Amino acid sequence: MARYFDVHPHDPQPRAIGQVVDLLRGGALIVYPTDSGYALGCSVDNQEGAERIRRLRHLDDKHHFTLVCCDFAQLGQLVHLDNAAFRAIKASTPGPYTFILKATPEVPRRLAHPKKRSVGVRIPDNRVAQAILHELGEPLLSSSLLLPGAEPFTDGWQIK
């Protein structure tokens, strides 16, 4: 059953964020705002959630998801960073950028590119996304909310 949370964009209510995180921990799929639009997300270990995202977006099993992190420390546990990548990411985050980097062993094999062993990572600058990530304490498995044949959504009520 779908639930809608009206979360303040600049000062997210802790109670609402806690309820969203409880749903995520229970295996739910969420739609949440990012810097560049809305995204679908679930916990990293939720394989059913990943399959639901693929079905909703009509994606094949080769689609690569992004791991959305709350901060640089969390991102550093998922990808190998050389000096150039470190400087580029540090200068560009938080923000609307996804970086494709070599995954560490912490990343489940099913989420990394099978040959290159790379994964997309991102640190959003959206307060609601940040609140969810901080409360969850782990990255979100995520994909843009771009449904086949539809325009990108820009308001929560459109998605509802």
Tell me what the pLDDT averaged over the chain comes to.
90
DSSP string of 123-157, one letter each residue: ----HHHHHHHHHH-SPEEEEE---TTSPPP-SHH
What mean pLDDT is predicted for residues 78-100? 92
Q: What is the DSSP letter of 110?
A: G
159 pLDDT more than 80: no
pLDDT at 12: 95
157 pLDDT more than 80: no
156 pLDDT more than 80: no
Ordered by start, the domain boundaries in the chain are 21-159
pTM value? Answer: 0.91
The rounded percent of the chain whose pLDDT value lies above 90 is 67
49-71: per-residue pLDDT in tens?
A: 999 999 988 888 778 899 999 99
Alpha carbon 87 to its chain's center: 22
Residue type at 148? P
- Going by DSSP bridges, is the β-strand pair 30-34/66-68 parallel, antiparallel, or unpaired? unpaired
Placement of tokens 């964020």 in the chain = 17
CA distance 117 to 160: 36
The CATH superfamily of 21-159 is: DHBP synthase (3.90.870.10)
CA distance 128 to 124: 10
pLDDT confidence bin for 23, thresholds 50/70/90:
very high
Residues pairing with 99 in the sheet: 121
Placement of tokens 């995180």 in the chain = 21
